[in-house]
Structure 1
Amino acid sequence: MLKNYFKIAFRNLFKNKVYSSINIFGLAVGVACCILIALYVQNEWSYDEFHSKADRTYRAWVNETTPEGRELLNTATPVILGPTLKDNIPEVEHLTYMFSFSNLVKTPDAQAPFDENILVVNKDFFKIFDFDILKGDPGNLFINPSSIVISEATANRFFGNQDPLQKTLSIRLTDEYKQFTVTGVVENPPANSSLDYRILMPDQNLETLISERGRNSWFNIFGSTYLTLQEGTNQADLNEKFDSMMKGVFGEDFFTNQDYKVGLQPLTDIHLNTEFPSAQASVSDPVYSYILAAIAFLILLIACVNFMTLSISKSTSRAKEVGIRKTIGAIRQHLMYQFWGEALMMTLIAFLIGITFAELLLPFFNDLSGTELTISYGAGTLGVLLLTALAVSLVAGIYPALVLSGFRPIEVLKGRLNLSAEKGGFQKVMVVFQFSLSIALIIGTITIQQQLNYVQNKNLGYQKDQILVLESGISNTPQSSPADIFEQSIRRKQILINELKASSEITSISTSSFTPVQTGGWFQMGFRDNQDQPKNFHGNFVDADFIPTLGIKVTEGRNFSEENPSDARQAMIVNEALVEYFGWENPIGQRLPGPEFDQHEVIGVVENFHYESLHTPVEPLAIVMNPDILFSGISDLGISNSFDPRYSFNLSTSNLSQTVSQLREVWAQVAPGVPFDYTFVDQSLDDQYREERRLSRIVTTGSVLAIIIACLGLFGLASLMVIRRTKEIGVRKVLGASSGNIVFLVNKEFTKLVAIAFVIATPIAWYAMSTWLQDFAYRIELGFGIFLLSGLLTLAVAWFTVSYQSVKATLINPTDSLRSE
Structure 2
Amino acid sequence: MIRNYIKIAFRNLFKNKVYSSINIFGLAIGIACCLLIGMYVINEWSYDTFHSKSDRIYRAWVNETTPDGREIMNTATPVILGPTLKSNIPEIEHLTYLYQFSNLAKTSEEQDPLTEQVLAVNDDFFKIFDFKVINGNREALFSSPSSVVISKEAAERYFGNVDPIQQVLSIRTGDEYRDFTVTSVIENPPSNSSIRYSVLIPTQNLEDLVGQQGMESWFNIFGSTYLTLSEGTDPKQLDAKFASMMEGALGPELYEETNYTVGLQPLTDIHLNTELPAGIAVVTDPAYTYILAAIAMLVLLIACVNFMTLSISRSTSRAKEVGIRKTIGAVRQHLMYQFWGESFLMSLLAMGVGITFAEVLLPFFNDLSQTTLQLSYNLETVGSLLLLSLFISLIAGIYPALILSGFRPVEVLKGRLNLSGDKGRFQQFMVVFQFSFSIVLVIGTITIYKQLQYVQNKNLGYQEDQVLQLESGFTNSPQVPINQILERASSRKQILETELSSLPDVQVISTSSFTPVQTAGWFRMGFYNDQEQSTDFHANFVDADFIPALGIKLIAGRNFSENNPSDSRRAIIVNKAAVDYFGWENPIGQRLSGKDFIDHEIIGVVEDFHYESLHTPIEPLILAQNPEILLSGISNLNIRNSFDPRYTLKFSSGNLEGMVSSIQEVWQQVAPEAPFNYTFIDEVLDTQYRREQRLSRIVTTGATLAIIIACLGLFGLASLMVVRRTKEIGVRKVLGASASSIVLLVNKEFTQLVAIAFIIAAPIAWYAMSQWLQDFAYRIDLGIGLFALAGLAALAVAWLTVSYQSVKAIFVNPVESLRSE
Matches within 5 A, 1:596-635: 596-635=596-635
2:150: which partner in 1?
A: 150
Secondary structure at 2:59 match in 1: strand
Which amino acid in structure 1 is aligned with residue 494 of structure 2? Q
Deviations 1:409-437 (A, max 9, x none): 33333333321321111110000000000
Displacement of 1:805 in angstroms is 1.8
State how far apart, in whole Å, the 2-side matches of 1:642 and 1:678 are.
Answer: 16
Give the match's secondary structure for 1:795: helix
Deviates more, 1:475-484 or 1:10-19: 475-484
Residues 99 and 121, structure 1, Cα contact 8 Å, conserved in 2: yes
1:281 and 1:606 mapped to 2: Cα distance?
A: 34
Name the count of aligned residue pairs.
821
Q: TM-score, normalised by structure 2?
A: 0.99
Partner of 2:803: 803
Q: Percent identity?
A: 70
Displacement of 1:653? 2.2
**3-state SS of paired residue (1:210):** helix
Summarize the alignment of residues 761-780 of structure 1 with structure 2, pairs less than 5 Å apart.
761-780=761-780
Please give the per-residue CA displacement for 1:107-133, whole angstroms capped at 9, x wherever unaligned.
Answer: 134331111110011111000100001
Please show how residues 368-447 of structure 1 align to structure 2 within 5 Å: 368-447=368-447
CA drift of 1:654 comes to 2.9
SS of corresponding position for 2:260: strand
Shift of 1:600: 1.0
**Correspondence for 1:198:** 198
Q: Write out per-residue CA displacement over residues 150-205 of structure 1, whole angstroms, 9 at most, x where no aligned residue.
A: 11111111111111111111111110111111111111111000011111111111
Measure the CA separation in 2 of the matches of 1:33 and 1:314: 27
CA deviations 1:598-652 (Å, max 9, x no partner) are 1111110000000000000001010111111111111110001111110111121
Using the alignment, how far apart are the partners of 1:246 and 1:109 within structure 2?
A: 48
Match of 2:497 in 1: 497
Q: Is the 8 A contact 2:246 2:255 kept in 1?
A: no
2:330 equivalent in structure 1: 330
Partner of 1:340: 340
Farther off after superposition, 37-46 or 466-475: 466-475
Deviations 1:442-485 (A, max 9, x none): 00000000000000000000001021111111121345300000
Q: Please state if 1:349 is matched with 2:352.
A: no
Residue equivalent to 2:535: 535
CA contact (8 A) 1:309 1:716 kept: no
Alpha-carbon distance in structure 2 between the residues aligned to 1:44 and 1:252: 43
Corresponding residue SS for 2:83: helix
Please state how far the C-alpha of 1:814 moved relative to its aligned partner: 3.2
1:670-704 per-residue CA deviation (whole Å, 9 max, x = no partner) reads 10021111111111111111000000000000000
Q: State whether structure 2 residue 708 is matched by structure 1 residue 708.
A: yes
Q: Secondary structure at the match of 2:97?
A: strand
Contact 1:508 1:650 in 2 (8 A): yes
> Which residue identity does 1:779 align to in structure 2?
R
State the alpha-carbon separation in 2 of the partners of residues 552 and 410 from structure 1: 85
In the alignment, which residue of structure 2 is the partner of 1:670? 670
Aligned counterpart, 2:750: 750
Shift of 1:256: 4.3
**Structure 2 partner of 1:693:** 693
* Alpha-carbon separation, structure 2, partners of 1:228 and 1:755: 57
With 592-601 and 332-341 compared, the bigger mean Cα shift is at 332-341
**How far apart in 2 are the matches of 1:591 and 1:110?**
50
* Distance in 2 (alpha carbons) for counterparts of 1:239 and 1:750: 62
Provide, for residues 326-372 of structure 1, a one-character-per-residue CA deviation record: whole Å limited to 9, x for no partner.
Answer: 23222222222112111111110000110111111100000000000
Q: Which amino acid aligns with 1:188?
A: N
In 2, Cα distance between equivalents of 1:818 and 1:14: 28
1:553 maps to what in 2? Answer: 553
SS in structure 2 opposite 1:748?
A: helix
Contact 2:13-2:20 at 8 Å conserved across structures: yes
C-alpha contact (below 8 Å) 1:111/1:673 kept by paired residues: no
Provide the C-alpha distance between the structure 1 equivalents of 2:810 and 2:141, rounded to a whole number of angstroms: 82
3-state SS of 1:314 partner: helix
Aligned to 2:116: 116
Query: Does the 8 Å contact 1:469/1:647 carry over to 2?
Result: yes
* Residues 31-40 or 248-257, more deviating: 248-257
Q: Partners in 2 of 1:581 and 1:472 — Cα distance?
A: 33
User: Aligned partners of 1:326, 1:237: CA distance in 2, in Å?
Assistant: 68
Amino acid at match of 2:248: G
- Residue 818 of structure 1 and its aligned partner are, at CA, apart by 3.5
Give unmatched runs, 5+ long, in structure 2.
Answer: none
- Tell me which residue corresponds to 2:91: 91
User: 2:35 touches 2:358 (CA, 8 Å); kept in 1?
Assistant: yes
Distance 1:414 1:396 in 2: 30
Question: Which residue of the partner structure matches residue 683 of structure 2?
Answer: 683
Which shows bigger deviation, 356-365 or 328-337? 328-337
CA distance in 1, matches of 2:102, 2:689: 23
Q: Which residue of 2 aligns with 1:582?
A: 582
Q: Which residue of structure 1 aligns with residue 186 of structure 2?
A: 186
**Secondary structure of the equivalent of 1:280?**
coil
User: 1:396, 1:67 → 2: CA distance?
Assistant: 61
Q: Is there any run of 5+ residues in structure 1 with no aligned partner, and where? A: none
Q: Look up the equivalent residue of 2:194 and give its one-letter code.
A: S
Q: Show the counterpart of 1:288.
A: 288
What displacement does 1:724 show?
Answer: 3.1
Measure the CA separation in 2 of the matches of 1:255 and 1:493: 45
Deviations 1:41-74 (CA, angstroms, capped at 9, x unpaired):
0100000001111101011000111010111010
Q: Counterpart of 2:319?
A: 319
Match for residue 271 of structure 1?
A: 271
The residue aligned with 2:41 is 41
Alpha-carbon deviations, 1:479-508, whole Å to 9, x = none? 530000000000000110111101001111
Distance 2:135 2:709 in 1: 52
**Is this contact kept in 1: 2:575–2:606, CA < 8 A?**
yes
**One-letter amino acid of the counterpart of residue 603, structure 1:** I
SS in 2 for 1:283: coil
Deviates more, 1:1-10 or 1:741-750: 1-10
Counterparts of 1:51-66 in structure 2, within 5 Å, are: 51-66=51-66
**What TM-score do you get using the length of structure 1 for normalisation?**
0.99
- For 1:309 and 1:720, the matched residues in 2 are separated by 11
Q: Distance in 2 between matches of 1:530 and 1:331?
A: 90
Tell me if the contact between 2:97 and 2:224 (Cα under 8 Å) persists in the aligned partners: yes
Aligned residue type for 2:73: L
Match of residue 223 from structure 2: 223
Give the secondary-structure state (helix, strand or coil) at the position aligned to 2:649.
strand
Q: Determine the structure 1 residue equivalent to 2:16.
A: 16
* Distance (Å, rounded) in 2 between the aligned partners of 1:649 and 1:487: 18
Structure 2: distance between partners of 1:762 and 1:257 = 50
Paired position in structure 2 for 1:176: 176
Task: Point out the more displaced range, 604-613 or 175-184.
Answer: 175-184
Q: Which amino acid aligns with 2:95?
A: L
Residue 427 of structure 1 aligns with an amino acid whose one-letter code is Q
